[in-house]
Structure 1
Amino acid sequence: MARTVEQIDQQIASTDPELLPVGEHEKHGAKHFAGLYAAENVAGTEFVFGATFVILGAGIWDVLIGLLIGNALAVLTFWLITTPVAREVGLSVYTYLLRFGGSSISKIYNLANAIVFSVISAAMLTVSATAVQRVIGIPTQEQAYPTHLGFVILVVAFSIVAVLVAVFGFNALAEFATICGPWLAVMFTVGGLVLLPAVAESVTGVTQIGSFREFVDIAGATVFTGVTPGGEEGIGMIEVAGLAWAANSFAHAGMIDMALLRYAKKGWHGLMTSTGMLFGHYVAWFSAGLMGAATAALTLTSITVLSPGDVSWVALGWAGYVTVVVAGWTTANANLYRAGLATQGVFPSLSRGRATLIVGVIVVVVACFPFVYRNYAPLVTWAGVLLAPVGGIVYAEHKLFPRFGLTEYWARYKGVTNMPAILAWGIAFGVGVFINLTQIISPYFAFVPAWIIASLLYVFFAKRAGAAEDYTEDVEDHELFLERVQAYKREQAESLPGHVKDTTTVTRVLRGIWMLALLVILVYAFIVFLDSPDIYTYLTQRNTFYTIAITGTIVYFVCAYWELQRGKVVDRKAYEAAKADAGSPDEGGEGGEKEKVGAPA
C-alpha cells in the first residue's frame, strides 16, 4: 500500500539524519577530500609498511614502479567503484547494507568491521608506545609477545587513555587530527631526506648524491636490494603493486569509504584520494623504507626488529617521537570510534560509549603484542579478503541489478531475509581464503576475485530468490521518499548559514607562521641532504636539523590549533546570528514559525 506524502514526511522527521541520504548543501569540494585523505593515510604504520618492503626483499625498481601501479589502481577503484555508488545512494555502506540486506547480514558485517578496526587500533597504539618506550629506557620488543613488564604497562596506559578519549572526547581529538596532515606529510618526507647522506656514505664513502641514477644505485644496494635480510630472493613488482592495492581494499573495494565519498559534489572528486594513495602510500612508504634501512645500518640492528620509535629517533630526533605518537594515536582513536559504532550495530541495546569501552578492553590486550603491528601488512590484506566481497554485493545491488532487470531493495520490498547476499559473501570469502592459503595467485590480489565472485553470485542468487519480480508500487514509494528527503534537506540548508571564512589579520598571521614553520623544516632538510660534503658536516647539520624540527613542530601545532579555534568561533557567531535573524518577528516576517518540510502534520 502506497504511503501518503504526510506519512513519508513524518518518517523523515523522526529518522536520525545520519540515516538519510545526504543533501546538496552537505557536500564538499575537491579540496576537502584532498586534505582528508592526505591526513588519514599518513599514519604511524607507514613506518611498518616501509620496513615491510625491505624485509620482503623488494628491489628498487620493484618499489618505485610497483608502488606507483598499485596505488594508482587504488585511486581508480575509489574513483570508479566507490565514489559513483556513494554519491548516487547518498548513504554510508552500513546504512545501505541494512536497507537492502536486512539486519542479519548487517550484524555480521558490523561484527567483521569491529574486529578489523579493533586490530588496526591496537596496532596504532603499539606503534605510538614504541616512541615513548625509548624515552623511558624500555628495550625494543623483538619477540611476537611482550618481554618487558614496563612495555605492557606503557601500552595499557596508552590504550586506556585512547579508549577514554574515543568515548568521551572524540570531537576534540578529531579537531586536532584535522591539522596533522600537512605536518605529517612534511615529517615523512624530510625523514628520508635527512638520512640519505648516511646511506650514501655507507656505500660510496661520500655523503653526497650527484644524480637520480646514483640515488637509485645507492638505494638499490642498501635499502631495496631485491633480497630478504635472510638472503632469499624477494618479492617482485607485481607483488609490490598487489600489496599497495590491497592495503586499502576494505575501504575502496569493500566500500567502507562510502561514508566519506557520499559527500562528494562531483564524481571526479574520487580522484582526490590520490593525496593519500600517491603521497601517503607512495612517498611516505618509500621514505619510511629509507629511514628503516638507514637506522638499521647506523645502529647495527636488524630491520626486522627495529621499532617505529627507533627509526623515528634516528631520522627526526625528538620530532620523530612526536610523529610516531601523533600519527599512531590519532589513527587509533578514529578506528576505536568506528569499532565502537560497529559493535553498537551488532548490539543495538548498547550505547555507543559502552560499546567502545567493551571494544577498548579487547584492544588493550591485543596492543600488548608486538606481533600485531609487525604483521600489519598481511592483516590488512586479510581484512580486504573479508570485507571486499560485501563491496561487490553493494556494487551489484546498485549498479548491476538495473542491467539484469532486477530491482534494488527487492528483499526489503518482499519482506524476506536477504539470504543471497549472505551466501554470496560466504562463498566469496571462502574463495579468498583458499587463494591466500594455496597462493595459486599472489595473496595480495585475493580480494579481486573475491569481489568479482561475490557480485556475480549475488546477481544470480537474487534473481532466483525474487529480485526479478514486479515491485512497481514499492519503487514509486521509495522514489517519493527520496524526493521528500531532498526537499527536507533543502529547507534545512535555507535555515543554516554557510561556512564563514575567518579573514582577520590575526588568523592570517597564524596561518603564515605555521606554513613558515613547515617550510623551514623542509628547507633545512634539503640543506642537510644537498650540502653535506663530509660526514662531520653532515652529523653537525643533522643535529641542528633535530632542533629545528622539534621547534618547528611546536610552533606549527600551537599556531595551527589556534587558527582552527578562531575559525570555529567565527562560524559559531555566524550561526547564532542566523538563528537570531530567523527567529526575529521584525526581520523574519513569520516569527520563526515557518512550517518545515517533513514536520509531522
Structure 2
Amino acid sequence: MHSSKPAQKSVSSQLNEFEQERVPQHKLLGWRHFAGTYAGEHVAGTEFIIGAAFVAWGASTYDVMVGLLIGNLMAVLTWALITAPISVQSRLTLYEYLRRVAGPGFNKIYNLVSAVLFCALGGAMITVSASAVRILFDVPAQTLWYPTSLAFVGVALLVGIIVVAVAVLGFKKCAQFATVCSPWLLVMFVAGGMVSLPSLSVLGEGQGFSGFAQFWTLADKYIWTGTTPDGSASLTFWQIAAFAWVCNLAMHGSLGDMAILRFAKRQSYGYFSAFGMFFGHYIAWICAGIMGAGAMLALNTSMAALDAGGIAYAALGLSGILAVIIAGWTTSNPTIYRAGLAIQSLVPNKSRAYVTTLVGIATAIIACFPFVFTGLLNFVGYMGLLLAPVGAIIVSEHWLFARLGLTPLWSKYQGNSLNKAALISWIAGVAFAIVIEQSGLLHLFFLFIPTYLFSMLVYIVLAAKMGAKQAYAEQAVAYQIELAAQEAAHQKSAQTKQTTHAPSQGSLIGQQMLGLLALLSLASIMYFALQVWFAGEGYIMALAAFKTFCIYPSLLYFVSATAWISLKDKR
C-alpha cells in the first residue's frame, strides 16, 4: 500500500515561520508580497480617522499637501535604508535579534511591552472595522473610551474572530489577503474623494461643481481651513511632516517590521513601503479629509461625532461599510501577527499559531473598548517613542560597533542573560523623551531623532565599559558555525520538497481572464465616480446612483481577484 505520510504535514509544521532562527533561502518571498502587504496595511480604516483629523487640527491645504509628501518620503527612506538592510542581513525577527543582543531577560520585558502595544493597536483596527459593521445593525457610533452598546461588543468580537483566523495562518497568507484588498481599497478612497468634493460646492456654496479648478478654493474654505473649531493652535507644516514620519515609527525606526522584511529576497524591497505611505498616508489621508468634510456638510454635524464607518457610509454607501471592514482587517492582520511573534518568543515551546490565537482573542476583547481608537494619533506617537530606544540599540550593534572597534553580540558571547547596558539605555531613552516632551522643549512628533541619538550614545558608552571592547574570537567563530549548520539543514530539507510544475495553457488563460475581470471591476467604479464628478446640477441623484451601484463591481472584484491570486500562487 502506498504511504502518503510525506504529504501529510502537521498544521504546526505548515505554520512554522522560523521564529527563533534565520529564515532559510528557500523560504524568501518576491516583491509582490511586500507591495501588497504595505499597501494593504497602510491603506487602512484608520486613514478615515487620521485623514479627517487634519481637518479638525486646523491644518492648511498647502501644509497638508507638501508636509505629508516630505514626511512620508522620510518614512520610506527609514524603512529602505535602516529596517530592510538589517532585516535581510540578519533574517531574524526583531524579538529574536534582540534576544541575541540583549539577552533573554531583556527580551522578555521588551516583548511583553511590545505585544501589549501591538495588541492595543490591533484592537483599534478591529474597532475601525466594527465601526462600519455597526451601521448595518443601527448601533450608535462609539466615540467614548468604553462601549455604550452590547451590540457593538458583539460586532467587535465577530470581526476579531475573522482577523485572528487570517493572522494565525502566517505572513504569506496575510500578504496574499492584502494583495487582493489593497488595489480595491485605494480605488475606494480615490472614488470617495472624487464623489465628495462636489458636495462642498453644491451643499456649501449652493452652486454646481465646475471641476478640479475649484479644488484649492473649496479645500481652503471647507477642508483644511488653517483654523481649529475651538480656536486652539493649528498644526504647523513641520508638525504635519513629522507626524507622517513618526506615525509608523514602531515599524520602521523601532524595527518592528523586521518580522516582515526578514522574508524579503532583497533589501531594496524596503522601498515598497512607498505603496503604503503614498497610497495610504498621502492619497488616502487627503481623500479621507475630503470625505470627512463632505460628511460634515451632508449630515450637518461635527467631525468629533463621526467615526470611520459614518464617514465612509456617507460617501460610498454600502461599499463604504465594506471598505472600512476590509481596511481594518488588512491593518490588524499583520499587527496581530507581530504581537504573536513577540509573545511566542517568551514561550518558545508553544507554536506561533497557538500563541497568535491567544493574542488575537485578547486583541478582540480590547477592541470592544475604543480607548485607543479615540486617542489613536497620540497613541502611535507615544508607542513609537517607547520602542525607539530599542531600535537604536539594534542599529548600534548591527552597524556602528564594528566601525568603533566594538564587538557585536558581545553580551551573548559573555553568556549574559541580561544586557544591562541595553536595559539602562532603554530606560534612559524613554526618560529623556518624557522629560523633553513634558518640559515643552519639543513637540511629541519631533522627539524621534534626539531620542534615537541619545539612546545610541548611552548604549555605545555603556557597552564599551561593560565588555564590548573585547574580541571574543572563539565565541564568534562558534556562532558562525552554528548559523552555517542551520542553513545547511534547511537546504537539505528544501531539496526533499516536491517540485512545482508549470501551469497548463488553459490555467494561464483562466488566470489572465480573472485578472482582466478584476481590473474591469475597478475601472467601472472609477468610471461611475467620474460621472458623479461631472454631474453638475444632477449631482445629488448621481451620487445616490453611484452609492447604490458601487457594491456590485466591488463584490465582483473580490471574487475574481481572490481566484486570480489563488491560481497565481499555485504556480
Q: TM-score, normalised by structure 2?
A: 0.90
The answer to whether the Cα contact below 8 Å between 1:123 and 1:367 also exists between their aligned partners in 2 is: yes
More displaced stretch, 467-476 vs 186-195: 467-476
- Aligned match for 1:506, one of 506, 510, 520: 510
Determine if contact 1:33/1:269 at 8 Å carries over to the other structure: yes
**For residue 532 of structure 1, what is the aligned residue in structure 2?**
535
Task: Trace 1:218-367 onto structure 2 (pairs within 5 A).
Answer: 218-348=218-348, 352=352, 355-356=355-356, 358-360=358-360, 362-367=362-367
Does the 8 A contact of 1:209 with 1:215 survive in 2? no
SS of the residue corresponding to residue 19 of structure 1 reads coil
Are positions 1:544 and 2:545 aligned together?
yes
Q: Which stretch of the first structure deviates more once superposed, 273-282 or 426-435?
A: 426-435
Counterparts of 2:407 and 2:501 in 1: how far apart (Å)?
39
Counterpart residue type for residue 432 of structure 1: A
Q: Secondary structure at the match of 1:251?
A: coil
Following superposition, the deviation at residue 25 of structure 1 comes to 4.0
1:109 aligned residue: 110
Following TM superposition, by how much is the alpha carbon of 1:311 offset from its aligned partner in structure 2, in angstroms? 0.7
* Alpha carbons 1:97, 1:106 under 8 Å: kept: yes
Q: Structure 2 vs 1, CA of residues 405 and 558 (structure 1 numbering), >3 Å: closer, same or farther? A: same
Range with greater deviation from structure 2 (202-211 or 416-425): 202-211
Of 223-232 and 334-343, more deviation after overlay is shown by 334-343
Matched, 1:67 2:68: yes
Aligned AA (1:257): D
1:384 counterpart residue number: 384
Question: What's the CA shift string for 1:10-40, capped at 9, x where partnerless?
Answer: xxxxx98443333444434444422221122
Q: Percent identity?
A: 38
The aligned counterpart of 2:182 is: 181
Change over 3 Å in CA distance of 1:271–1:335 after alignment to 2: closer
Shift of 1:169: 9.8
Shift of 1:139: 1.9
2:463 maps to 1:462: yes
* Amino acid in structure 2 at the alignment position of 1:444: F
Q: Is the 8 A contact 1:70 1:243 kept in 2?
A: yes
For residues 90 and 48 of structure 1, do their structure 2 counterparts lie closer, same or farther at Cα, with a shift above 3 Å needed?
A: same
Q: Is 480-489 or 331-340 further displaced after alignment?
A: 480-489
Q: Deviations over 1:339-382 (max 9, x none)?
A: 23322333446554554455445434432233321211111111
Alpha carbons of 1:164 and 1:563: their partners in 2 closer, same or farther (altered >3 Å)?
A: closer
Report the alpha carbon displacement of residue 129 of structure 1 after superposing the two structures with TM: 1.4
Q: Write the letter of the residue equivalent to 2:208.
A: T
Amino acid at match of 1:523: Y
Q: Does the 8 Å contact 2:525/2:553 carry over to 1?
A: yes
The 3 A distance-change label for structure 1 pair 91 and 341 is closer
Contact 1:203–1:218, Cα closer than 8 Å, also in 2:
no
1:555-598, Cα deviation, whole Å (9 max, x unpaired): 01111112233334x44xxxxxxxxxxxxxxxxxxxxxxxxxxx
The aligned residue for residue 402 of structure 1 is: 402
Segments of 4+ moved more than 6 angstroms:
168-174
CA distance in 2, matches of 1:234, 1:449: 24
Q: Which residue of 1 aligns with 2:560?
A: 559
CA distance in structure 1 between the aligned counterparts of 2:97 and 2:431, rounded to whole angstroms: 24
Q: Which runs of 5 or more structure 2 residues have no equivalent in the other structure?
A: 1-15
CA 1:170/1:461 → structure 2, altered by over 3 Å: closer, same or farther? closer
1:31-70 aligned at under 5 Å gives the runs 31-70=32-71
Maintained 8 Å contact 2:59/2:236: yes
Whether the 8 Å contact between 1:197 and 1:532 is mirrored in structure 2 is no
Matches within 5 A, 1:177-216: 177-212=178-213, 214-216=214-216
Report the CA distance between 1:210 and its aligned residue.
Answer: 4.1
Equivalenced residues, count: 552
Task: Tell which deviates more after alignment, 478-487 or 194-203.
Answer: 478-487
Kindly state the Cα deviation for residue 140 of structure 1 after the two structures are TM-superposed.
2.0
Asked if residue 444 in structure 1 is aligned to residue 445 in structure 2, the reply is yes
Q: Which runs of no fewer than 5 residues in structure 1 stay unpaired?
A: 1-14, 572-601
- The Cα offsets for residues 379-434 of structure 1, whole Å up to 9 and x where unpaired, read as 11111011111111000001010111011111111112311111111110111222
Q: Would you say the 8 A contact 1:71–1:277 is kept in 2?
A: yes
TM-score, reference length from structure 1 = 0.86
* 1:152 corresponds to: 153
Q: C-alpha separation between the residues in 1 aligned to 2:330 and 2:529? A: 25
Of 41-50 and 491-500, the range deviating more from structure 2: 491-500
Going from structure 1 to structure 2, the CA distance change for 1:162 and 1:23 (only over 3 Å counts) comes to: closer
Tell me the alpha carbon deviations over residues 310-346 of structure 1, each in whole angstroms, 9 at most, x when there is no partner: 1111111111111111111343243233323322333
Measured on the aligned residues, the alpha-carbon RMSD in Å equals 2.5
Q: For the Cα contact (< 8 Å) 1:108–1:346, is it kept in 2?
A: no
1:48 and 1:374 in contact (8 A); partners too? no
